[in-house]
Amino acid sequence: MKINIQPFNFNIQNVRFMSNSVPVSSNNSKLERSPENDSFEMSIGYVNDLHGQANNMMRILSGIKGDLKLSAGDNDIGDEKNDATHKVTTKFLNIADIKASALGNHEIDMDQKSCIDAIHRMNGEMLAINYDQKPISEQDDDVKKYGRADLKGVLKKSTVVDVKGEKIGLIGASPMDMLERLTHPNYYTDSSVEDLDDTIELIQEEINKFKELGINKVILLSHMGHKRDMKVAQEIDGIDVIIGGHTHELLKDIKEGENLLYSKSGEPVILTEAGRDGNYFGELNLTFDKNGVITKAQNNLGETRLFHKNMINQYVFDSILGTPEKIGYVEQAPPPPTNLAEENPHANFVCDIMREKTDSDIALWHHSGVRNFFHEGEIDSSDVKDMAPFLDYVVVAEVPENVIVDAFKTAIKATYSSPTLKPGLLAVSGLNYTVDPEDGELVDMNFVDKNGKEHKIDVEYPRKDKKYKVVTDEFLMSAGADYNILAPEELYVEKYPFDKDVLASAYIKEKNEPIIINQTGRIRYEHDED
């Protein structure tokens, strides 16, 4: 049966449901008949994919509200080199009173011992029903070499929390591709994640256990991604809410077919996801009937930049990260791009700095690694660090032209083949290039020398004997994950003991004049030229 929900104003009107799970207009007076003891109201404050963004976390602390606060994972980012960021992330989770989080892929960028230490620092629970691990006693010498530990023993499949006298069941699920997205794959060769069908079975079994305990309100903390969450919502009986993450969707309001679905038994299931990098956070207001079925819901998203940092929290964070240095003033900066296939002038600006500071021919930065943007007004070193929270050392190598072209072709094809446009295009300095979004192809490329003169690169037959001095971060140069390897470590010309933010902060400070961010026109789109 086709269900229609009348449109409603963002952050004002509620979507309401009859007790038989059929949505109706919010002005239906029949919903007011139930006595108070036949219904239960609660609010959930939620976050996902914070990626260690300290400044955004401080702002979220000024705005997040809810009877229960939860995370869908990827709170953290980076490996052992990012120890201060890990500690700040845990501090945020504790101050915000996050009761539980899903285990995301970035939680295990670090080795297992470090991950366990981070979990032990949390006041809340880390949940993953579909993570498995070979027993430590059955493993070889890699246990010591790669920092293996009993991570499975520290994680929980589910937990039960008390909210205003009601028992709420919480279950966590990790992404199926978690082990394919690791910074250090060798750390987790002893680990596995169940496929989606098996995960659905495990979730249903856990819900059935809740039912035996008389618990009829269940929330899934999922880092599986929105499409998988939709499948879970419709194939399981007993989930009320899915707090989602991983695919960085921005799910505003409540829209049928998008984040309002129905379970096997026809009960409403509400899905949330608040984008990425802590740019948004949410509050979901719910009313349940006596059977634990949602009868009314309201989903609000707060834009983090509109909230001020609390000075006490600033002090706490600074005591861990160090007091940021005031470095300059941004006079003009455009809004950040809305997806990973749009040109990013903020990243282009940093590429210009890397190219100049290292005297390289070409600078590159992958869009998926750009985690924030330059705000107009006074900025400090922490603002710049938030753009590149991963600690990836700046490296330089001589890279053949054909390797560069192949890397762009691979990135473009993968980006336009993905519904979320991941891994994203490449920000550049010393290059410009044209893409065909429809076919996901590299159409044209030019090298731009330091005098501004363009030199055409034949993208069909790039030269193997022509090399360029390329500067980027170590992840893009040699880690490979979502992009082609440009050069292995043994071929580095230079490796700097810092990341892009250090170069950018030094440049802005030395320039000592207002900064204008307007570096565009380096990525061209074939349809724009037709």
Tell me: the pLDDT tens digits for 67-77? 999 999 999 98
Strands 326-332, 218-222: pairing kind: unpaired
Q: Nearest-5° angle of CA 404, CA 407, CA 412?
A: 125
- Cis peptide bond N-terminal to 337, omega within 30: no
Q: What are 242-301's pLDDT values in tens digits?
A: 999 999 999 999 999 999 999 999 999 999 999 999 999 999 999 999 999 999 999 999
User: What does each C-alpha distance from 378 to 133, 315, 514 come to in angstroms?
Assistant: 48, 19, 9
DSSP symbol at 475: I
Q: What are 464-484's pLDDT values in tens digits?
A: 999 999 999 998 999 766 788
Tell me if the pTM is above 0.85. no
In this structure, CATH architecture of domain 39-306: 4-Layer Sandwich (3.60)
Q: Which CATH class is domain 324-529?
A: alpha beta
| CA gap 230, 258 in Å, rounded | 8
| CA gap 411, 428 in Å, rounded | 13
Q: Which residues pair with 396 in a beta bridge?
A: 471, 494
Give pairs for 310-314: CB < 8 Å, separation 24+. 310/58, 310/61, 310/62, 313/58, 313/61, 313/62, 313/95, 314/58
SS3 category, 224: coil
Q: Where are the domains of the chain?
A: 39-306, 324-529
What does each of the 530 residues of the chain score in pLDDT, given as a tens digit? 333 333 333 343 456 654 433 333 333 323 333 445 589 999 999 999 999 999 899 999 999 999 999 999 999 988 887 888 999 999 999 999 999 999 999 999 999 999 999 999 999 999 999 999 999 988 887 888 888 999 999 999 999 999 999 999 999 999 999 998 887 888 999 999 999 999 999 999 999 999 999 999 999 999 999 999 999 999 999 999 999 999 999 999 999 999 999 999 999 999 999 999 999 999 999 999 999 999 999 999 999 988 988 889 989 998 998 899 999 999 999 988 989 999 999 999 999 999 999 999 999 999 988 988 898 999 999 999 989 887 889 999 999 999 999 999 999 999 999 887 888 999 999 999 999 999 999 999 999 999 999 999 999 999 999 999 999 999 899 976 678 899 999 999 999 999 999 999 999 999 999 999 999 999 999 975 44
Residue type for 75, please?
A: N
Helix 54-61, helix 83-95: angle, nearest 10: 10
